[in-house]
Amino acid sequence: MLQVTVKLFAAYQDACGVPELVLELPEGTVVREVRDRLLSQHPQLQQWRDLTRFGVNLQFVEPETVLQDGDEVVLIPPVSGG
């Protein structure tokens, strides 16, 4: 098992009610599986499924990036601002 910290922003933070989560995941987990886990727990986030970008340890990554123990994961939905 590995442990990652997931930083939540915008819609993800609103849905989960917290700014970050610590998750225990099986070895070999890819970053998109973190998103999918949150979507299964919070179906209202489904609209962001294909629009979410991923970051691991302050770098943008592809959805199939394999996570390592201690990684910091960021889920980045589109946001608007002015």
> Quick one: pLDDT at residue 53?
93
CA gap 39, 34 in Å, rounded: 9
Q: How many domains does one find in the chain?
A: 1
Give yes or no for residue 24 having a pLDDT over 90. Answer: yes
Domain that residue 62 falls in: 2-76
81 falls within a domain: no
Number of helices (H), then strands (E), belonging to the chain: the values are 2, 5
> Quick one: pLDDT at residue 80?
57
Confidence band for 76, pLDDT divided at 50, 70 and 90: confident
82 falls within a domain: no
> Quick one: pLDDT at residue 38?
94
Q: What is the CATH number of the domain that holds 40?
A: 3.10.20.30
Global pTM value: 0.89
> Quick one: pLDDT at residue 81?
52
20 falls within a domain: yes
